[in-house]
Chain A
């Protein structure tokens, strides 16, 4: 079963704009991770936020976690065409990852 549910399912923006994706989950977690998947490729780890953290930054990425609402958001600032990909949140509850269905992001030049 898939615990994380991303919203929106698809997002289309212009280069330079910010992109925000949300993830909701159902059970308690140790950490939540975001991964990117380019078409036809494997997944690439972007960022991990632990259950006792509220916000984390990595380059143009900003992740927030609200454990009381069981939700997380991923913000990509100043988007580039190369950011076009599918983005998945994955919850880690017992050292195994449960992925959501993903958000497809299209960044147009």
Chain B
């Protein structure tokens, strides 16, 4: 079974630029999550999708972050404009409805 795929693996941008991350969850997993993990901390949930609907986006900084999951499969997370404090690893996870979440390798973002 293929795992959660994410791209790119690394991204370096300058502040005020825009960036987008892509996630392909495990086939058949209805629930998809985006997390932000700042160095030295645990992952923090940004947004949760159930199929193509948003379940929880209470911690998503909506003035600069946006996410979509148009067909209930792949998802993209966008930041525009980026700030220095957005430097982090962005993790995507999916689940079929059971408790265990399966994580992708993450995208490491550096904002200069």
Q: Given A96-B48, A96-B56, check contact A45 B42 (CB 8 Å).
A: no
- A-contact bits for B1-33, CB 8 A (1 contact / 0 none): 000100000000000000000000000000001
Q: Are A101 and B104 in contact (CB under 8 A)?
A: no
Interface residue tally on A, bucketed by range: 20 to 34
Number of interface residues of B (CB under 8 A): 22
Majority DSSP secondary structure for residues of A touching B: strand
Using A31-B99, A92-B99, A97-B101 as known contacts, say yes or no to A42 and B106 having CB atoms under 8 A apart.
yes
Assembly CA distance A45 to B100 (angstroms): 7
Q: How far is the CA of A43 from the CA of B43 in the complex (A)?
A: 9
Chain A residues positioned under 8 Å from B65 (CB to CB): none
Listed in ascending order, the chain B residues whose CB lies under 8 Å from chain A are 4, 33, 40-45, 48, 55-56, 91, 93, 99-106, 108
Known: A97-B45, A97-B101, A98-B45. 17 other contacts (CB 8 A): A2-B41, A31-B99, A41-B105, A41-B106, A42-B106, A43-B43, A43-B101, A44-B103, A45-B102, A88-B42, A90-B42, A92-B99, A96-B45, A97-B43, A99-B43, A99-B44, A101-B42
6 cross-chain CB contacts under 8 A: A40-B108, A42-B105, A42-B106, A90-B42, A92-B99, A101-B42
Contact surface of A with B, Cβ cutoff 8 Å: 2, 4, 30-31, 33, 35, 40-45, 48, 88, 90, 92, 95-102
